[in-house]
Structure 1
Amino acid sequence: MRQILFLVVCAAGLAVLLSLGVWQLRRLEWKEGLIAQAEAMIAQAPVPLPAAPDPAHDRYRAVTVEGRFTGEETYVLTSTRERGPGFLIIAAFETEDGRRILIDRGYVPETAKTTPRRGHGATVTGNLNWPDDITSSTPAHDEKTDIWFGRDLAGMAAQLKTDPVLVIARADTGDGITPMPATAAFRNDHLGYAVTWFGLAAVWAGMTLGYLWRIRRRTV
């Protein structure tokens, strides 16, 4: 009876571990679909800025806006493998129809943070985004140095008195700023999780077989 109960528990545990692995594979397929959809939208021909951009439907949409940089900007701490630490320049932009939005112009090194950048007319092509840089552990905006530690769209829009709309420039907007075009920024660890669950299932099955082998040896 004890052996039967043991086998039931082992079979149940193996089924749970395998089902978790399969679930992660399904999540992997779903996430890869999201990434493919985002990459396709990033690569589309740009369209005029929608009147009321929607985060659910317009994230990564390619757009072109005409107007001018007002000269107002704020700074997001960042770092790149090629260039090292620096800042993203988030600038206020006034469109031809009078809307005020934010443009992520790209990267400058730390030494160029305070370089004067005057307002000027521009046509900007880029992609709409609602970044999810901010987590519960992200430090608050340093008002003294005007440094953000993630792209807090609502906070930056309130600071620069713009709509909470961000376009990430995909081409050079001048002033020595290196554009950092939008990418499909989705975490995709599901394959690793699936391998882990299937690995645990294999270990569980091996331990079960080993225990049964030892029982058999004692009874022979």
Structure 2
Amino acid sequence: MHRRMILPLLFGLIGAAILIGLGSWQVQRLHWKEGLIARAEARIAEAPVPVPAQPDPDTDRYLSVTAAGRVAGAELHVLTSIQGEGPGFLVITAFDLADGRRILLDRGFIPEAAKTAARPPRDLTVTGNLNWPDDVNASTPAPDTGRNIWFGRDVAAMAAALGTDPVMLVAREDTGDGIRAQGVTATFRNDHLGYAITWFSLAVAWLGMTAAYLWRIRQRTI
């Protein structure tokens, strides 16, 4: 091997090793994220238990629970849509538990035309899952309080608006009044496979460019 080829070869091999290492790290992250999703889905399907005395957003997210109480008073409406049906709203209301606590209840979906329909107070036993949804970010518009339209389920802000604890129970069984329960799904961003493919592709391209450059050096030295 000509001495002029040693440095480009080392540079090419080190660069490819770094890119392959980054791709391998993303594969590890992919397996970790898939494990999180599997555990969350298993928890969602567990047998329901009573609502904990002090629910924690980290340890109790997706916990399957059942609770008896009463819905009454104001509702908050979260703009959403269902594929094939068009726009509508999620109905969020205060839920006064039998033990005296007050939490948020996501009863589910109503079509747009049912937004102003009367929904009288009622006693309910609700089975569902605790959740602190990641619906709101920096680009989410502020609620239109005049029209009672929210653009994401902001648990803290909704709890303040309805005077409840910052805890949301998402019903997975219908609670009447034509509201269709939507339940919860395990929502974790999982782009690691795409990132891994990108890094491995860059490694292949890097090696290809290195080989082409070494070939040009060899041709000059023949």
- DSSP-derived class of the 2:159 partner: helix
Residue matched to 1:167: 169
Question: Cα distance, 1:43 vs. partner?
Answer: 0.5
Q: Specify which of 143, 146, 151 is matched with residue 144 of structure 1.
A: 146
Alignment of 1:1-220 (within 5 A): 2-220=4-222
CA–CA distance in 1 between the matches of 2:220 and 2:10?
Answer: 21
- The farther-off stretch of 80-89 and 181-190 is 80-89
Conservation of the 8 A alpha-carbon contact between 1:71 and 1:117: no
- DSSP-derived class of the 1:145 partner: coil
- The farther-off stretch of 8-17 and 203-212 is 8-17
**Corresponding letter in the other structure for 2:213:** Y
Identical pairs, percent: 62
- DSSP-derived class of the 1:29 partner: helix
**Corresponding letter in the other structure for 2:196:** A
Uncovered stretches (5+) of structure 1, i.e. residues with no partner: none
Question: Cα distance, 1:80 vs. partner?
Answer: 1.9
Aligned length: 220
Conservation of the 8 A alpha-carbon contact between 1:89 and 1:105: yes
- The farther-off stretch of 189-198 and 10-19 is 10-19
- The farther-off stretch of 128-137 and 6-15 is 6-15
Q: Could you tell me the TM-score, scaled by structure 2's length?
A: 0.95
Aligned CA RMSD, in angstroms, stands at 1.2
Deviation >6 Å, runs of 4+: none
Question: Cα distance, 1:84 vs. partner?
Answer: 1.7
Uncovered stretches (5+) of structure 2, i.e. residues with no partner: none
